[in-house]
Amino acid sequence: MNPDQAKQCGLTSTITLPHGNLTPEGSVVKSTAIDSTLLDSTGVYRKIGPARVFISEPDAIRAIKERAIQRGDVIVLICAGPMGSGMEEILEVTGALKYLSWGKDVAVITDGRFSGVSTGACIGHIAPEALAGGPVGKVLDGDIIQIIIDCQSLEGSVDLIGEADTPADQRSVELGMRILTERPFRPDLAPRPDLPDDTRLWAALQQAGGGTWGGCVFDADAIVEMLDAGKETLPKK
């Protein structure tokens, strides 16, 4: 259908690429997958909620099943990108939330990829990924995250705006940036222990070529340049 017909049917533009202090190199959200009841009258999704951080998809699924995830939470699933899991699809998390009566009120942000099965905002491909030094690898449980997605202008942001005990009137994107600058990375960041060597090699090579947002492809010139630079640091015999 043409754009006017689509608008009359309540359809929005397809994807938005949010940036922010947690997504300095970008991210992706399927705007049309956000439940329309979560949008304001201008077609904007706004959410502020506490982070619930998981290093693996099974841990996130367990938390959902055990009702450790509550309405309004923001699931932060990290170490799910190329360097962490080979960038597996996190279908189980979004699928589980879809079949909860309040699942649409839970947002998901991840450095992995996801299926179209979602109702609340599911923001993937966060870059840099946690294991590549991305600030999302510094998020702690209870941190306050703000997500804004304009489904009409296709603009959006994903930001840390405060810690768990930060008063609401003191939260801001600038405060979140200061927190991320001063805070060390989580000590539990790690790739999946069963990650195959060929997947680890692929992840290292694509990271040298610009990471996820470089296209997850090999940049032969960049790799050769890095290898040559490494040779210069080796001790001479």
Residues annotated as catalytic are 115
In terms of phi and psi (left: phi > 0; alpha: psi -120 to 50; beta: otherwise), the region of 154 is left
Contact 21, 135 (CB under 8 A): yes
Helix (H) or strand (E) holding 148: strand 144-150
Q: How would you label 141-177 residue by residue, b for 16+ Cβ within 10 Å and e otherwise? A: eebbbbbbbbbeebebbbbbbbbeebeeeebeeebbb
Contact 183, 198 (CB under 8 A): no
